[in-house]
Structure 1
Amino acid sequence: MTAAGRPARPRRGRAAVEQAISDAVLAELAEVGFGRLTFESIAERAGTGKSPMYRRWPDTTSLVIDTLDKLRPDPVTYLRIGILRDDLIGITRHMTATQTGVKADAFRSLLGEAHRHPQLLARFGSQVLNPLFEAMTDVLREAAARGEISAARLTPVILEVLHALIVKRTLLDKHALTERHITEMVDEVLLPLVA
């Protein structure tokens, strides 16, 4: 017990404190949004003092930027099959599976506010969105190299449309995509665009 009569917190290692802070950032983003995020609210939720945060991050923007890696679905862990339709369905399913619950709500919250903060928006694009776009583009380029589609169809505009649809359907919609939704999206939109 502490002198104030509260139970003493068990001492945690640095990694555990940092994990608690990251989890608290995501939860706060999901609940109150970036504009109302404070070190005080994060510290309280993480069960830690503010000093570990002030030592590492000068402001909440920097803290959120360092937390962005937790929002990024990792496309590298998707094992490609080598058939375009199957890979488009598979990678979309993979990206959808990693964007659920508090993580998805935090992601949506950031998307709504990132345009007001240029540094946040730049890192959000480079750390969260661009890896998704690159993974989808790689799947398409590999299909072109195999002769499944024409490389000439992979224009910047078509790639942008594909990326926008994937982000909208997998990351912005409130309802999780079902297998039927993913298959319809691939068969009715993605494949006809590049065929």
Structure 2
Amino acid sequence: MTNDAPAQSSVPTSRRTRCSAYPLDPAKDEAIRAAVVQVLAEVGYSRLTMDEVAMTAGVGKAAIYRRWSSKADLLVSYIDMESVAGLVLADTGWLRDDLVILLTSIADLLAGPVGRANRALIGILHENPALFDAYRHGPLDRWSAAFTEVFRRAVERGDITPDAATSVAAEAGPGIIIQRWLITGAALDEELVRAVVEQVMIPLLRGATRPPSP
């Protein structure tokens, strides 16, 4: 069994405004990112300020403005970074195990401080086109790509049909996890993930669209 390590994340230079010719300290980058997560989770989007982020990060406000020109730029960069952090894409040779590992990594992310920070952003995404675009092309696209890869391997092994890989059955597992995270607030853990994969996803994917008999 081989598990690919989570992708190492960094704030892409294309997502932030460089305001200084001097090299930027990576340690301050990490401190600022951690502060964004903490402040968003604690006070929400409307009360998040550059001053509060700077104080929480233990840096001067100028250190933030050397990297990002506005609150919106900072949050767009955070969303882009967060979409990579913690995501685990494994190739175990088994559809069930690949799904459990991937969904568990997402559930762990949503259950922690990053999940609370993201919940604070969800309500304002449609009011801010830049944030909505960052979310759609960040977490949503990258998580979708991870599931697409898991299903692609399963199709190649003959576990499921190509139609099953693109059916609504493929969305059932993530849908349950997101509903619990965003609406009910129920616990997200590996036990839940295994139940979702084994009782919902696998039967739907294999039962309704079983590969034709030779």
Taking the TM superposition and a 5 Å limit, the aligned residue runs for 1:17-28 are: 17-28=28-39
Identity %: 33
**Corresponding pairs, count:** 183
Aligned residue in 2 for 1:188: 199
Match of 2:156 among 145, 150, 161: 145
Match of 2:129 among 99, 112, 118: 118
- Greater shift, 68-77 or 36-45, is seen at 68-77
Per the TM alignment, residue 76 of structure 1 is displaced from its structure 2 partner at its CA by 6.2
Unpaired runs of at least 5, structure 1: 1-12
Aligned residue in 2 for 1:164: 175
The secondary structure found in structure 1 opposite 2:91 is coil
Task: Classify 1:108/1:70 alpha carbon distance in 2 versus 1 (closer, same or farther; 3 Å).
Answer: same
Deviation sequence 1:27-55 (CA, Å, 0-9, x none): 11101111221111111212222112223
Check the 8 A contact 1:65/1:120 in 2, yes or no: yes
The secondary structure found in structure 2 opposite 1:56 is coil
Task: Classify 1:170/1:130 alpha carbon distance in 2 versus 1 (closer, same or farther; 3 Å).
Answer: farther
Q: For residues 48 and 166 of structure 1, what CA distance do their matches in structure 2 show? A: 36
Per the TM alignment, residue 178 of structure 1 is displaced from its structure 2 partner at its CA by 3.1
Q: For residues 189 and 113 of structure 2, what CA distance do their matches in structure 1 show? A: 19
TM-score (norm 1): 0.80
Per the TM alignment, residue 84 of structure 1 is displaced from its structure 2 partner at its CA by 1.1
The secondary structure found in structure 2 opposite 1:35 is coil
Unpaired runs of at least 5, structure 2: 1-23, 207-214
Q: Confirm whether residue 83 of structure 1 aligns to residue 94 of structure 2.
A: yes
Task: Classify 1:74/1:136 alpha carbon distance in 2 versus 1 (closer, same or farther; 3 Å).
Answer: farther
TM-score (norm 2): 0.74
Check the 8 A contact 1:73/1:98 in 2, yes or no: no
Question: Which residue identity is paired with 1:174?
Answer: G
The CA RMSD over aligned residues, in Å, is 2.5
Q: Confirm whether residue 104 of structure 1 aligns to residue 76 of structure 2.
A: no
Q: Which structure has the greater CA radius of gyration?
A: 1
Match of 1:132 among 119, 143, 148: 143
Q: For residues 139 and 75 of structure 1, what CA distance do their matches in structure 2 show? A: 17
Higher relative helix content: 1
Question: Which residue identity is paired with 2:117?
Answer: A
- Greater shift, 76-85 or 106-115, is seen at 76-85
Q: For residues 87 and 35 of structure 2, what CA distance do their matches in structure 1 show? A: 26
Question: Which residue identity is paired with 2:92?
Answer: I
Per the TM alignment, residue 143 of structure 1 is displaced from its structure 2 partner at its CA by 0.8
Question: Which residue identity is paired with 2:138?
Answer: Q
Q: For residues 164 and 43 of structure 1, what CA distance do their matches in structure 2 show? A: 36
Task: Classify 1:136/1:93 alpha carbon distance in 2 versus 1 (closer, same or farther; 3 Å).
Answer: same
Deviation sequence 1:69-112 (CA, Å, 0-9, x none): 44335576432211111211222122223344322211211222
- Greater shift, 173-182 or 24-33, is seen at 173-182
